[in-house]
Homo-oligomer: A and B are copies of this chain.
Amino acid sequence: MARGRNGDAPGAGASDAGWLTDDEQAAWRGFLRMHSQLTSSLNRQLSSDSDLSLQDYGLLVMLEEHGGGPMRPFELGRVLGLEKSRLSHHIGRLVDRGFVDRSKCPTDQRGWLIRITDTGREALTAAAPGHVAAVRRAFIDRLTSEQLSVLRDIAAVVADGRRSDEDCDG
């Protein structure tokens, strides 16, 4: 059961109002454990083979993919699942390091436009092959395409609030 207390419901596996079944628990804890391990290991690889952390990489990739055009912080927050305060500090550090620049948004005076710099692009280009290979080794290559597809759906439902019967354009 999810709370982790033994003693009640010795049979195990049953869904008793409050706690999680063994299967539910295994999924939830496995998810957490997998994330901790993967990110530690990928972070180590990235920072030893390049100038970027995993967070740096994620942010720069989004900017780069955006066609080189600028993005608003709230957009970045949405795609990366990050909150505004953390993002703001992170962007500040990337600005200091010269990887992105920040300019006032002309159409909405409250906001900013974040753009990847040439320096940022270079760092990304240098980091990418090693990082992608590491993601493959630690994650992609260990799973079937069926498993990856289910994981994609899971993320769509949990993170993006899609209902399970929606398709990609829904």
Residues of chain B within 8 A (CB-CB) of A148 are 23-24, 27
Is B149 a contact of A154 with CB atoms below 8 Å? no
Residues on the B chain within 8 Å of A31, using CB: 35, 151, 155
Q: Which of A18, A19, A28, A149 has the most CB of B within 10 A?
A: A28
- Pair B23/A158 contact, Cβ less than 8 Å: no
Check if A139 sits within 8 Å of B35, measured CB to CB.
no
Whether a CB of chain B sits under 8 angstroms from the CB of A95 is no
Once bound together, how far apart are the Cα atoms of A4 and B68, in whole Å?
A: 11
Taking CB atoms and an 8 Å cut-off, the chain A residues in 57-84 that contact chain B are: 58, 61-62, 64-65, 67, 79-83
Determine chain A's interface SS by DSSP, over half rule: helix
Q: CB distance B28 to A135 under 8 Å?
A: yes
Output the residue of A27, A156, A157 with the most chain B CB within 10 A.
A27
Complex CA distance for A132 and B149, rounded to whole angstroms? 27
* Chain B residues, CB < 8 A from A149: 23, 27
Among candidates B20, B139, B142, B147, residue contacting A28 with C-beta atoms closer than 8 Å: B139
CA distance A155 to B67 in the complex (A): 34
Interface membership of A144, Cβ < 8 A: yes
Instruction: Tell me, in angstroms, the Cα distance from A127 to B4 when the chains sit together.
Output: 12
Q: Is A12 an interface residue (CB 8 A)?
A: no
A residues with a Cβ closer than 8 A to B are 2-6, 18-20, 23-24, 26-38, 40, 58, 61-62, 64-65, 67, 79-83, 124-125, 128-129, 131-133, 135-136, 138-140, 142-145, 147-160, 164
